Structure formats: structure tokens, C-alpha cells
Chain A
């Protein structure tokens, strides 16, 4: 703006167009920077999305199984133990043999035929029988998962002429398709089971449970500790060299690489305290150490944002410092504290480095039932699948990334909503 009192000097007028152009350029740079960042984000998400979408469906094959006692190798006993040890694979083999009678004579063909069906088929059949032992002796049609290679072929990830299937196997698959024995079903296994070395059986629930238990531990430890520390430091602690030192240390701690916390956890929680390896309890404790600085810093910032007039008014009316704190400052600072905590938790959810040291980067099939059961975590599961040679794990990896991203988005959204709804502006 040109001042009204002083007459515009020639030089200023001359420089105006140049300065306006510079500003326009500056804005374009800004928009370009955002545009590039957005483009990369879209590229990343669409790449992961297109790859991960495949994991939602799974090719299944229909077999008419006859649960014959002699094939199962069952005698008269029908207790759980005997039923669970019965030979369900033989039943599957027999059912496949019924569809392709020409393939049962040669051993080679039988093996090739069995390779079309997942090794998990027998176990799924077993679970059906264990649920309802009355099925023994009867015949029924079951949809069993196809082998991961077949799944990849059906989804078009492997070409027919890739040499991964023999002509005979391709012929069998065509025949199955003609007879309506192949379908693409919703892959519920992915959401209901733990890890597996067979891509068609591998699921994410074990990792989700592990992450859940670890995050709960992390929250229970870091939230009260962090808030208490912040309140004391902000409201009660005297300003001296010691509190300065502590403050610097906390700020430093927030920038320490997370693997260091893993090493600390290994030395203290596992070595000194003798806690169990791979337990989400220990994982949560390590993540709590990592989250603490975030919680403390966020809490202090939001306490400081409450105007001193509120505190002073409360004290002026006779409240003690603790009352002023608990009744007025803390409730007003709560939205900020919650936001900081949720963001800290979201960070902890995505961490895998500190978990390496305490043994949570592991192949764990059984679902964790509690804080001390061995478990992995979501980012760890992604890492393990990304490293597996089987091609079908690529889409599982992408799908697991989508699940992790979904959780992160939900958590961050909650943080934004909390801030919007409850934040007070002065």
C-alpha cells in the first residue's frame, strides 16, 4: 500500500510490477510444492490400493467330499483328539480324484493335482468336523481355498504360459471352471486368522491383536505418566537448573531414533526385569518410552495455552493451586492433551524398529490372547510379508499397508475432531 501523506516516489512505482510478479511467482511455487506432494501421495495410495485390492478376494474350489471313516482312518472313537488327528488330506485327495478320475493312476499326476488346492484345505475340513462330528460318514460340497499360485493365475498376476503350471494342470483348472467349481469369494481368512507361510491362509488379525495389546499398554503407561510429568513441570516445579536439565532431556528424548528405545527395552525389560520375549506388554512398554516425550511436550503446550487469567481468577477466589489446576486449567487443556496423545499413539502404531530388539519381529501363528502371549504387530507383519518369496504375498503386503493406513487415518481424524469440537479459543 502506498502511503497517502507522502507522494509516491518514482522508484517505488517502478518497482511495483516487479514485486507483484515476484509475489505471483512465490504463490505458484507454493502451489507447485503442494501439487507435487499431493501427486506423490495419490501415486503411492493408488499403487498400494490397486495392488492390495486383490487380497480382498480369494479363489476357492468346490469339492464334493465324502467323509468316509476308512479314508479318514477313524475307528469307532469320536472324541476330539481322534477327530483332529484324522487324515483329512486323504479325503480332499479322494474328492479331487472323483473329479479327475484320469489323474489318480500316476503318482506324479496325483501330486500335481493336489498342488491346485491349498494345504489348508484339510485343516479347514477338520475344523468343520470338529464343530459338528455328525458330518462323519456323510457327503457334502465344501469350498476350499485354492493354492496361492492358482489364485495368482486366476487374478491374472501370473500368465498362463509362464511355465509355472503344466498343460495338464491348466486343463484341470479349465475343467473346474467349466463345471462351476471355481469361484472368487470374499477373503474372510485375511481378516480372521493369524500369520501363515501359505499366502492363501495368511491373515492380519494376529498382528492387529498384537498391535492393540501393545497400544493399550502404551496408553496406560504413557498417558498418566506423561500428563503428570507435564503438569508438575509446568505448574508446580520451581524454575532452576534441574528443571531446565530435565526439560532439555525430554526434548532430546523426543528426537532419539526409535531403535534406541528397543535396545533400552532389551537391556532393562528383558535383561534386568526378566520379562518374556515377544510379549506385547514389553512392546507397549518400549513404545511408551518412545511416546512419553510426545505426550509431555503436547500436554505442556496445551497447559501453557490456557490463559493465566483463568488460573489467577480461581486462585483469587480462594482455590488452592491444585484445585485451580484440576478444576480449571486441566479440563480446558484436555482437548490438546488428547490430540497429542492420539498422535503419539499413531506414531507408536507405525513403529517396528524398537520391536525388533524385543523379539516381536517373529513368525507367530497363534492369536495372542493377552498381554504376555507372543505377538507381532501390524508394521512387523508388513515387513515379514514383504520379505517373503511367494508372489501372492505382494498383495497381502499391500492390503496390510491399507489396513495400517486405515487405522492411522481413523486415529488422526479422531484427533482432529476432538480438537475441533472441544478446543476453546481466547
Chain B
């Protein structure tokens, strides 16, 4: 084994010298931003004289890790993220010489709870979502921290959760814990519902760890089914099982609007306009980050930013909207376009 490895190494070294200077943008990061980023990359490659950028889908965290690993040809120029960069990641970046980073906010993505059109549409509140999916729920009203005891989630049907909901067993197909969509769902929907209990909300200050455990943990008794990273799979399962609800990104609902319907959350339906206006509560911002040190070294980065922040790309009538991206408001777009094309440094 040793021998073969060594020989393999030698063979590799012999060709390593051929690697040449990079003339192609390299993008890594979030799988949520991937469909949008690739669409822009393809247009950019077809309409400019630059090569089509290579886009890898590594997840937000994985992308930032690669991005922050250093400067030079071996490191990506841009990383996509379905959340904002964390202070800790900025530190790692700076430690590895990636000091100047341009932040570009792209738009929004709604996370929807949808079911088959063969059954009635669900009207949920954040509290309902929490009560249906949390591992532990408060036993009583939980009006203050003192009289708030958590019990293992006893709710079997939606009717147990809220008498106004149908008498159907809770069955939710959603992303696994490794997914960015799951992170966002937990943070926005679960925690949002969790906070409606005053007792739990008070816990946030007193014991942050316990608060997080209570609000962020999803039940593991088979009512929430981890359906894998592939959202198409969830869509397929929903069409064959009309009793189930599924959790996935808005673009998949948009593409399958003839088969599926989104549940309203806090009275807001997951529609393009509502998410864009910020009324739909379970939506998150999407970003990408650009390594300033590479602008000028790798050709086309500034032009790629310009293409992405073009109205015909990310505007309400742009081609990304056709792909399911929820655009920012006019003012927000103007602001972000100015700051990102001016290559302003990221400020936390």
C-alpha cells in the first residue's frame, strides 16, 4: 500500500507543474444560493468575454471555511451564504489574511410549509409550528419563568396543537440537521413560536443555553421526518401523501404550485409579494461575499458583481425572480448595489 501511494504521489508531482494562473472565477457556498448564483454565472459567461465562473455547492458554513482559508489561486474568490457571516468567521478570515471582504445582499428566500392541493390549506401560527414540532413544550400557559415546566411534546394531531386545526396526525417532512434551511427554519419559525411563551422568553436572558435547547430542538418521535437534503424528494412525497406537510425553500413551491399549496403563517401566505414586503415571517436574507484581494488578480470579479446587482438580474422583473429569488425593495437594492459595486468593506 505504501509503495502504491508513493508511486501515486510521484506521478502527481510530475504533472503538478502544469497548473497555470487562474483566469476563471471560483465560487463556493450555500446550496440555497446555488441556483441563483449559477444562473448569474451562466449569463455572465455567455454575455461577457470572461470564462463562466465555477460554482460549487458546499453549504454556507463549508463555503465560508474555504473562503476564509487564505488568499491566492487555490482559494475561492466568492462564497455564497444563506445567512450573514458570523463574527467568528470574520476573525478566521482576518487571521488568514483575508482582511477586506465585500458583502453583497442578494435578496430573500422564504421557507414554506406546504401540503398537497388535494387537502385543505393549513393556517398556522408560529406558536402552532413550535407546539407541533418542538421536542419539549410548556405544560401550561407558561406566563412566567417560575411556572413553566417543559414536558415531552404530547401533541399527536394538529387538533391537539390548536383546536382550530384539522384532526390529522402531525406528519412533517423536513430537512436534516446538516441543512442551512433547517437552521433558518429553527431560528425563524421554531424560536419565533417559542418566544410567544413569556416564560420561555424570560429564559433567554437567564439561561441562554437552556433557552436554545428548549426552542431549537425538534422532536424525534417520528412526527418530524428528516427527508434528506433533496427538496424535490419532499415535493414528491407530499404529492403521494396528502396528509403530510413539507418544509422547503420557496422556489420549490413556486415550481410546483399546481400540486402544492403553502400554509399561511401568522395569517400571511407564502407568496412572492408577501415575502418581498417582509410580511411573511419565515424568510431569510441571502448573501455572497467577495475577496477584495482577488479583484484585479482574477479577471471578471468586479464585472460579476455588476451583473448580479443589475436590475435585469435581481430586480422584481429580473431573471432571478423567475428562478424563485425574492428581490429586495427598491431602496434596499439601490443601497446594496451602490455599496457592493463601490467595493465597500464589510462592516459587522
Which A residues fall within an 8 A CB radius of B? 81, 111, 115, 119, 123, 158-159, 162-164, 196-198, 221, 225-226, 229, 246, 249-250, 253, 268-270, 273-278, 281, 285, 288-289, 292, 359, 361-366, 371-372, 374, 384, 386-391, 394
Q: Which residues of A contact B20 (CB under 8 A)?
A: 372
CB-based contact B54/A362 at 8 Å: yes
Interface residue tally for chain B (C-beta within 8 Å): 53
Minimal Cβ-Cβ distance residue in B for A107: B317
CB-based contact A372/B252 at 8 Å: no
CB-based contact A197/B38 at 8 Å: yes
CA gap between A226 and B3 in the complex, in Å: 10
Pick the residue among A159, A277, A362, A389 that contacts B35 (CB under 8 A): A389
CB-based contact B4/A225 at 8 Å: yes
Interface string of B318-336 (1 = CB under 8 A from A): 0100111000000000000
CB-based contact B8/A278 at 8 Å: no
Q: Which residues of A contact B19 (CB under 8 A)?
A: 274-276, 372
Would you give the shortest CB distance from A392 to chain B, in whole angstroms? Answer: 10
Residues B1-32 near A (CB distance < 8 A)? 1-5, 7-9, 11-13, 15-16, 18-20, 22, 24, 26, 31
6 A-B pairs closest in CB distance: A162-B258, A365-B52, A363-B55, A363-B38, A362-B56, A197-B39
Known: A274-B74, A387-B230, A388-B35. A363 touches B54 (CB 8 A): yes
Q: Which residues of B contact A163 (CB under 8 A)?
A: 257-258
Q: Which residues of A contact B57 (CB under 8 A)?
A: 361-363, 384, 387
Minimal Cβ-Cβ distance residue in B for A233: B3
Interface string of B133-175 (1 = CB under 8 A from A): 0000000000000000000000000000000000000000000
Q: Which residues of A contact B5 (CB under 8 A)?
A: 289
Q: Which residues of A contact B98 (CB under 8 A)?
A: none
Q: Which residues of B contact A391 (CB under 8 A)?
A: 255-256
Which B residues fall within an 8 A CB radius of A? 1-5, 7-9, 11-13, 15-16, 18-20, 22, 24, 26, 31, 34-35, 38-39, 41-42, 45-46, 49, 51-52, 54-57, 74, 229-232, 249, 251-252, 254-258, 317, 319, 322-324
Pick the residue among A119, A162, A229, A268 that contacts B4 (CB under 8 A): A229
CB-based contact B54/A221 at 8 Å: no
Known: A359-B56, A363-B55, A386-B230. 15 other contacts (CB 8 A): A164-B258, A250-B1, A270-B74, A273-B16, A274-B16, A275-B12, A275-B15, A276-B22, A278-B56, A361-B57, A363-B38, A366-B52, A372-B18, A387-B232, A389-B323
Pick the residue among B7, B42, B231 that contacts A387 (CB under 8 A): B231
CA gap between A162 and B257 in the complex, in Å: 8
Pick the residue among A119, A249, A285, A387 that contacts B31 (CB under 8 A): A387
Minimal Cβ-Cβ distance residue in B for A120: B46
Q: Which residues of B contact A374 (CB under 8 A)?
A: 24, 54
Q: Which residues of B contact A389 (CB under 8 A)?
A: 35, 231-232, 249, 251-252, 254-255, 323-324
CA gap between A365 and B55 in the complex, in Å: 10
Q: Which residues of B contact A359 (CB under 8 A)?
A: 54, 56
Minimal Cβ-Cβ distance residue in B for A276: B19
CB-based contact A362/B55 at 8 Å: yes
Would you give the shortest CB distance from A122 to chain B, in whole angstroms? Answer: 9
Q: Which residues of A contact B41 (CB under 8 A)?
A: 363, 365
CA gap between A132 and B54 in the complex, in Å: 31
Known: A229-B3, A273-B12. A196 touches B252 (CB 8 A): no
Q: Which residues of B contact A363 (CB under 8 A)?
A: 34, 38, 41-42, 54-57
CB-based contact A275/B258 at 8 Å: no
CA gap between A250 and B252 in the complex, in Å: 45
CA gap between A228 and B18 in the complex, in Å: 27
Would you give the shortest CB distance from A291 to chain B, in whole angstroms? Answer: 11
Would you give the shortest CB distance from B16 to chain A, in whole angstroms? Answer: 5
Q: Which residues of A contact B46 (CB under 8 A)?
A: 123
CB-based contact A386/B56 at 8 Å: no
CA gap between A159 and B117 in the complex, in Å: 14
Would you give the shortest CB distance from A3 to chain B, in whole angstroms? Answer: 54
CB-based contact B42/A365 at 8 Å: yes
Minimal Cβ-Cβ distance residue in A for B251: A389
Would you give the shortest CB distance from B174 to chain A, in whole angstroms? Answer: 16
Minimal Cβ-Cβ distance residue in A for B229: A387
CB-based contact B16/A288 at 8 Å: no
CA gap between A225 and B9 in the complex, in Å: 12
Known: A197-B35, A249-B1, A363-B34. A288 touches B9 (CB 8 A): no
Would you give the shortest CB distance from B237 to chain A, in whole angstroms? Answer: 14
Would you give the shortest CB distance from A219 to chain B, in whole angstroms? Answer: 13
CA gap between A225 and B2 in the complex, in Å: 12
Pick the residue among A198, A285, A365 that contacts B8 (CB under 8 A): A285
CA gap between A359 and B54 in the complex, in Å: 10
Would you give the shortest CB distance from B7 to chain A, in whole angstroms? Answer: 6
CA gap between A221 and B232 in the complex, in Å: 38
CA gap between A249 and B1 in the complex, in Å: 7
CA gap between A43 and B232 in the complex, in Å: 20
CA gap between A363 and B51 in the complex, in Å: 13
Would you give the shortest CB distance from A399 to chain B, in whole angstroms? Answer: 16
CA gap between A365 and B50 in the complex, in Å: 13
Q: Which residues of A contact B54 (CB under 8 A)?
A: 278, 359, 362-364, 374
Q: Which residues of B contact A250 (CB under 8 A)?
A: 1
CA gap between A269 and B11 in the complex, in Å: 11
Known: A159-B258, A197-B38, A273-B13. A225 touches B8 (CB 8 A): yes
Pick the residue among A198, A249, A275 that contacts B16 (CB under 8 A): A275
Which of A250, A270, A273, A384 gathers most chain B CB within 10 Å? Answer: A273
Would you give the shortest CB distance from A45 to chain B, in whole angstroms? Answer: 19
CB-based contact B16/A366 at 8 Å: no
CB-based contact B256/A221 at 8 Å: no
